[in-house]
Amino acid sequence: MRWFIALLILSTAQLARAQDAPAAAPDKQSVPALLDALAEAQDTPAATGLEARIARQWDQAAGPVVAMLLARSSQEIAEDDADEALADIDAALTLAPDNIEVFHHRAMARYHKGDVSGAYHDLDEVLRREPRHFAAWRSLAEIAEAQGNSRAAYAAWQKLIALDPKTKGGEQKLEELKRKVEGEKS
């Protein structure tokens, strides 16, 4: 109930602001075009900029209320309040059940709460809907590595590098995971 009242208040405030403020310039490139550009980025700063533009579009795809709930859930996760993050994400999921970024946020909240299986399930849903979701591949790799599954982490990181070859620290992380996997074989 708390989240419904907050949504109602925020929706009213957003509507009032939208009527008073000039519209923000939308990103003219579509997410698929930006993902194509990401795969061709020439250096890490270019890749980082594209990652941010794509993430912003994914976060804002379902509207300002859902974007606000996702931003708040990220802050709550950073503050180790996974229960509140999950409540906000559940509200976002009610409003935008087809938004892939809601599932990605829920995966991270579930992981921080200790629900690794639930996190994997949500990441699988994100990747089923958008196989080029580089952030989900990164999350999958990080969770797998934290669980001691170097082989799965390496496989996920390989997918990430194929989609985002200039991601910050990407090649070094790939080599680190490769050494771990090779060490497990011997």
Q: What domain range includes position 138?
A: 42-185
Instruction: Read off the pLDDT of residues 65-97 as tens digits, 9 standing for 90 and up.
Output: 999 999 999 999 999 999 999 999 999 999 999
Higher pLDDT, 19 or 56: 56
pLDDT in the model for residue 183:
87
Number of domains in the chain: 1
Spatial contact of 41 and 50, defined as CB atoms under 8 Å apart: yes
pLDDT in the model for residue 19:
35
Q: Within a domain: residue 5?
A: no
Higher pLDDT, 26 or 121: 121
Packed helices 31-39 and 150-163: angle between N→C axes, nearest 10 degrees = 100
How far is it, in rounded angstroms, from Cα 105 to Cα 96? 13
Q: Within a domain: residue 36?
A: no
Q: pLDDT-based confidence at 7, cuts 50/70/90?
A: very low
pLDDT in the model for residue 42:
96
Q: What is the DSSP letter of 42?
A: S
Instruction: Read off the pLDDT of residues 120-174 as tens digits, 9 standing for 90 and up.
Output: 999 999 999 999 999 999 999 999 999 999 999 999 999 999 999 999 999 999 9
Instruction: Read off the pLDDT of residues 109-123 as tens digits, 9 standing for 90 and up.
Output: 999 999 999 999 999
Spatial contact of 27 and 57, defined as CB atoms under 8 Å apart: yes
Q: Within a domain: residue 64?
A: yes
pLDDT of 98 over the 50 cut: yes
Q: Within a domain: residue 133?
A: yes
CATH number for the domain that contains residue 84: 1.25.40.10
Alpha helices in 79-169 (DSSP H): 82-95, 100-113, 116-129, 134-146, 150-163
